[in-house]
Chains A and B, each alone.
Chain A
Amino acid sequence: MGIDLSIASVSKKFGQFEALKGIDLDIEKGSFVCLLGPSGCGKTTLLRIIAGFEKASAGQLLLGGNDISRLPPHKRDFGMVFQSLALFPHMSVAENIAYGLKLRGLSKLKRDDRVAELLEVISLPAIADRPVSALSGGQRQRVAIARALAVQPRLFLLDEPLSALDAQLRDAMQIELRQLQQQFGVTTILVTHDQTEAMMLADKLVVMKEGEICQQGAPQDIYRQPANAFTAEFLGASNILDASASDQGQVQLSGVDTVFRTDAPAGTALKLSVRAESVVLDRAPHLSSGPLGEVEFIRNLGASTEILVRTGVSTVRVRLPSRDSILQDLRVGEQVALQFDAESCVVFRADAA
Chain B
Amino acid sequence: MSRVGLMPEEGGGSYKLLVCLLAGIGIIIAAAPMAIIVIMSFSAAETSSFPPSEFSLRWYETALTLFSSDESSGSQAVGAALSSSLLVGLVVMVLSVAACIPLAYALVRGQRRLRQSMELLFTLPLVFPLVMLGIAFLLIAESLRWELGIWRLIIPHLALVMPFVLRNCMSAMQSISRETEEAAISLGASPLRAGLDIVVPLMKPGILAGLIFAFIISFNEFTITFFMYTIDQSTLPIWMYSRTVSSLDPSTLALSVFIILIDLVMIIAIDKIIAGRSSLF
Residue ranges of A at the interface with B (Cβ–Cβ < 8 Å): 51, 53, 73-80, 82-84, 86-90, 99-100, 103-104, 147-148, 151, 157
Residues of A contacting B109 with CB < 8 Å?
Answer: none
| Residues of B within 8 A of A (CB-CB), count | 19
The answer to whether A53 touches B182, judged by C-beta atoms less than 8 angstroms apart, is yes
The answer to whether A82 touches B183, judged by C-beta atoms less than 8 angstroms apart, is yes
Residues of A contacting B180 with CB < 8 Å?
Answer: 84, 86-89
The answer to whether B186 touches A51, judged by C-beta atoms less than 8 angstroms apart, is yes
Determine the residue in chain B with the shortest Cβ distance to A84: B179
**CA of A51 to CA of B186 in the docked complex: distance in angstroms?**
7
The answer to whether B186 touches A79, judged by C-beta atoms less than 8 angstroms apart, is yes
A selection of 11 A-B contacts at a CB cut-off of 8 Å is A51-B182, A53-B182, A73-B186, A74-B190, A80-B186, A82-B182, A84-B177, A84-B180, A88-B198, A99-B197, A147-B187
The answer to whether B177 touches A86, judged by C-beta atoms less than 8 angstroms apart, is yes
How many residue pairs bridge A and B at CB < 8 Å? 64
Determine the residue in chain A with the shortest Cβ distance to B191: A74
Residues of B contacting A75 with CB < 8 Å?
Answer: 188
**CA of A180 to CA of B161 in the docked complex: distance in angstroms?**
53
**CA of A88 to CA of B181 in the docked complex: distance in angstroms?**
9
The answer to whether B179 touches A86, judged by C-beta atoms less than 8 angstroms apart, is yes
With known contacts A88-B198, A103-B193, A79–B179 Cβ distance under 8 A: no
* Min CB–CB distance B148 → chain A (angstroms): 40
B202 at the A interface (CB under 8 A): yes
Residues of B contacting A151 with CB < 8 Å?
Answer: 187-188
**CA of A147 to CA of B180 in the docked complex: distance in angstroms?**
13
The answer to whether A88 touches B184, judged by C-beta atoms less than 8 angstroms apart, is yes
**CA of A51 to CA of B185 in the docked complex: distance in angstroms?**
10
Residues of B contacting A80 with CB < 8 Å?
Answer: 182-183, 186
With known contacts A86-B180, A88-B180, A103-B193, A73–B198 Cβ distance under 8 A: no
3 nearest A-B residue pairs (beta carbon) = A100-B187, A86-B183, A86-B179
* Min CB–CB distance B108 → chain A (angstroms): 17
The answer to whether A79 touches B177, judged by C-beta atoms less than 8 angstroms apart, is no
Determine the residue in chain B with the shortest Cβ distance to A75: B188
The answer to whether B188 touches A104, judged by C-beta atoms less than 8 angstroms apart, is yes
Residues of B contacting A87 with CB < 8 Å?
Answer: 180, 183
Picked from B185, B187, B193, B201, the residue with its CB within 8 Å of the CB of A90 is: B201
* Min CB–CB distance A344 → chain B (angstroms): 41
The answer to whether B188 touches A83, judged by C-beta atoms less than 8 angstroms apart, is no
B274 at the A interface (CB under 8 A): no
**CA of A104 to CA of B268 in the docked complex: distance in angstroms?**
42
Residues of B contacting A73 with CB < 8 Å?
Answer: 182, 185-186
Residues of A contacting B177 with CB < 8 Å?
Answer: 84, 86
